[in-house]
Structure 1
C-alpha cells in the first residue's frame, strides 16, 4: 500500500456515477419503454437481463414463508435485534409539527407529513443484502410512510434471496416485486399495470440503477446518487496495525473503485499497516477486487502531527471515518466532514453497517461536506402554516404591497390592497 506525504493528497472523488454515453442512452431507452408498454416491457427486459420469464412480478406469502425455512433461526434472531437497534436510533430523529402564536394573533407553524409512498431498491446478482432492506425500510416506517414497495432482481429460477425476503418481512414490507435494473426504477417512478408509482426511490444499485434514479429525479424524489464505498482511518501510534489493515480491506473488497485511506502522524504505524494489508490480501476471498481497489485508490498519508491529520480527513470528507487514537473522543469536535464517524478501537466500520443502529446509507465522493446519512427526514415533507391575523395584516399590508411593487409584481400588491379597501 503506497505511503504518501500530505502534499501528494489524492481526491477520493470518482465520477463513475456519470456512466458512459452508451449506458446513459440505454437507460433512457429502458425508461421510455417501460413508460410506454408497462408490464410487457418489464417482462421482456427481465428475460433479457435476468434470463428468467416471469408471469407475475409479485412475491407471494408462500415465497416468504419458504424463505424462513431456508435461513437459520440464529439469522432471524440477528435480523430482529439489528432491526430493533435501527428502529430505536431512527425514532430519536422524529420531530413533531409545531405552531406558534404571536402577540398580534398571527399563527405560524410547520406541518410535518410522511410521504404517501416510497420505493426501495435492493441490489441482487451474486450477493444478498438484507442490511440494505433494513436501512432503507425502517426509517420510512418510523417516519410514518404507509406504502413501502421493495424491488429487487430475481435469479434465473425467478426467486429472490431468502435472507432479503426475511429482512423485508421483519421490517414490515408488504409489497415486493421481482424486478431489477433501470426497468425497476422506471416502474417505481411512472407505474405499470402491476406496480403503482411511488413518490420517492431509495436504495443502492449498479451504474444502470444510479443513472435511472438520476433520470427520473424531478418526477419523483431520490435519496442520493452514491459512488463506490470509502473509508478513512485517522489513527496514531496506539492503533494496532492488523486491525487497521482489516478495516481498510473491509471497504476495498466492495468494489475495485472503493477508496481506503489511512491518515496518521506515525510512520511506524504507516509501514506496519502497509505490510499488514499485503499480508491479509493473500488470504482474502475477494482478493482480486480488493487488490485493484488498494492499488488504484488506497493510500496512507503521513502527516506532521495529529492536527494536520484531522485537516486531511476534513478535506477528504469520507463516507466512513474511523478515529483510533489515544484520545479519540477529544477529536470528535474537530471533525467537520464525514458521513459516519466511528470512535475508538471497538467501533469498526461493519458495526455500523449491520447492527449499531445509525443508517449505513451515507454520502460518498466528498459530498459529506454538505449532505447527511439517510434519515427519517428523508421520508417526510414539511408544509408551512400561515394564519395571519387582521391586526398583523393591517399593520403590514402597505409594506407587503410596496415589496411586491419593488419586484414589479403589481397583481401581488393589488391582492393585498383589495383587502385594505374592503376593510
Structure 2
C-alpha cells in the first residue's frame, strides 16, 4: 500500500481553530467536528485549551494540540503543527479562523510526506479584497474553500482571485432530530420567564454587537400598538462579543460592552425591564427557541444566519433584514418577512402582523421547517464534506 493510500484510509481530520472568542463560527465548527466524529471520521483539534473552544473539545473527549492564537504564524507553532499532522497521520486539515489558514498553509509545505494531506478553509464572515502576492501564495496550498451562501461565494470570488476556482457553497448542516417540539418543555421555559401561554414571546439569539441590530430590535417594542405591547414580551439571548476567554474569565470587546450598556440603559429609561428580557447564551438553547412564537434576525448584514436556521427548524416564523445572505434563507411572505435593515418600525410592523394572525405564524413556521429539511440536513452536509475531503462514507 502506498503512503498516500495509507493516509487516505486513516480518515483523520484536524480542525485548526485558535480563536479565543465564542460565537456562531466557533460553535458551528466545534459541533460540525463532533458530527464528523460520530460519522466515523476521527476528529482532532489544534486550539487554545483555555478558550471556550478548548473547553468544548475537552468536554467531548477529542484529542488536541495546544495552540494559542497569534496574529502571525510563529516558527515554533509551524513546527509543532507539522509534527502533529505527521505523527497522527492526519489525512485532512481544515482551518476555520481567518489567521489559522496562514499557519496551516505554511506548516503543510516543503515536507514531502505532507504533500498528500488535503487542506480546506472555511470562510464565515465578510470579505475584504486580498489580491496581493502573499495571500495568493498562502491560498495556493488550499485545496478548497467553503462558504455558506451563494452571495458570499460571489464575494469571495471577487475579493480573492486565488480562491475563485476552488470555492464552494457548503450549506450549514443541522441535526434535525434535536429540533422537536416538547410542549411540557415549552411550558416550563415560559413559566421560568414568567410568560403566560397567551403572551407573544419574540426572541433574538445573537451577540450584542452594533452590527447585530439589537438596539433596533429593543426600540421596536415601543413602536408596537398598546394592545399588542400589553401581550408581547421580547427575549434577547446573547452577550457582548467575546475578545478572549479562558480559565473561567471572559473579556468582551470594549465597543460591544458599551453598546450593551447603552441598550440596558434604554430599557431602564423606558421601564421595560419586565417586557424586554436579557439572558446570556445558553449551552442548551433549543428549549428557549421552543418557547418562542416569533424569531427576529435584525442584523445589518448577516452572511448566513445559523440562529435563523435553528429557529426555522423549530417551526418559528422569522423576521429578517433584506441584506447579506438572509434573502437566501427567508422568502418574504413564505417562511417569514424581509425588512429594511436598521429599521425599528419595520420590525414592529412585522411583529404586529404576526400577533394578529396566528394562522400566518403557523404557516410560515411550517414552511421554514421544510426549508431547513430540504437544504440543511446535517446528513447531507456531512456527505458533501466527506466527498470534498476525498474520504469514503462509513457504511454500517
What is the TM-score with the length of structure 2 in the denominator?
A: 0.29
Higher relative contact order (CA 8 A, sep 6+): 1
- Kindly name which structure, 1 or 2, has the bigger radius of gyration based on alpha carbons: 1
What is the TM-score with the length of structure 1 in the denominator?
A: 0.28
